[in-house]
Amino acid sequence: MLTRIGFIGLGIMGRPMARNLLQAGFEVMVHSRTRSRMEDLVAAGARPGESPREVAAASEVVITMVPDTPDVQSVMLGPAGVIEGAHDRLIAIDMSTISPSVTQQIAAALAERGIRALDAPVSGGETGAIAGTLTIMVGGAAEVFTECQPVLAAMGRRVTYIGPSGHGQIAKMCNQVVGVLTLEAVAEGLVLAAKAGVDVPRVIEALSAGSADSWNLRHQGPRMLARDFKAGFFVHLQQKDLRLVMELANGLQVPLPGTALVQQLLGSVEAAGGRALGVQALVQALERLASTTVGGR
């Protein structure tokens, strides 16, 4: 039974995830380059770690939740990295969203030092992180996944084992493709409804009862209407993920014409100064093309 968990990366997602581990009864050691971010977790019972190495040395499972591919490389394999704290029982779980192929390279490097690794990226945003209801997609050895399930269950509601190393990240890439195009679906439908002059909330209600239903329709549709562009998930992080998606798809020679289009439309949101808005701001690109506005006062 795993009890000692290390958590590295205490941003918007990482902090509530670490807190949920604490509340589930795990012994947690945290680490962040930004010292102040550790304070309230330490106040809540976590121990502070000086470096990824120290966290790894003191833990059975070390979890990383950092922004991008180079950050994971550095935390795992860099100076004073997790790899330097290697010991027999250590499992490293990267929950960041990063390149599937680099994920496999990192896992291989860790394996040489006896560290078993999982990739376990999440979906669900800050809300899901706080509520402990994240969707978690896991790649790595099946038996390592089984061993870690209680740990992951403390942070997410639906934890799915996908396959060997990197497959969690690939599932996450697919999640981003499906999610962003479904969001485009909602945005195009609502702009049409609005400019046609129909009652948009009733359209959302009617559509969500049938085959056009989606999480995005029910959750992002009303936000678009209410001009609520506060970020659950930032435009610029979505774009980072779409760059990873396109790199993967390009390497596999999988044309994704719809996803490529949405990537450009989100670029329009960035061009208009909306990098730090939530992804539902995608509707603004279509509003700009249509010289109209969905909802609003």
Q: Cite the active site residues.
A: 172
Determine the Cα–Cα distance for residues 91 and 68; give it in Å rounded to an integer. Answer: 20
**Which of residues 3 and 250 has its CB atom nearest to a second copy in the complex?**
250
Least Å from the CB of residue 19 to a second copy: 21
Classify residue 296 as left (phi > 0), alpha (psi -120 to 50) or beta. left
Options 175, 223, 229, 277; binder of a second copy; rule CB under 8 A? 175
Least Å from the CB of residue 126 to a second copy: 12
Token pair for residue 79? 């100076």
By the rule CB under 8 A, 131 interacts with a second copy: no
Q: Which residues contact 258 (CB under 8 A, 6 or more apart)?
A: 181, 184
By the rule CB under 8 A, 190 interacts with a second copy: yes
- The Cα-based distances of 18 to 48, 74, 80, 163, 205 in angstroms read 12, 20, 21, 25, 37
Binding segment (CB under 8 A) for a second copy, from list 18-26, 52-60, 83-91, 127-135 = 127-135
Amino acid at 285: A
Token pair for residue 229? 């562009």
Options 11, 214, 222, 276; binder of a second copy; rule CB under 8 A? 214
Options 141, 212, 222, 276; binder of a second copy; rule CB under 8 A? 212
By the rule CB under 8 A, 296 interacts with a second copy: no
**Which of residues 3 and 160 has its CB atom nearest to a second copy in the complex?**
160
Options 92, 245, 281, 283; binder of a second copy; rule CB under 8 A? 245
Q: How many residues sit close enough to a second copy to count as binding (CB under 8 A)? A: 89
Determine the Cα–Cα distance for residues 191 and 45; give it in Å rounded to an integer. Answer: 49
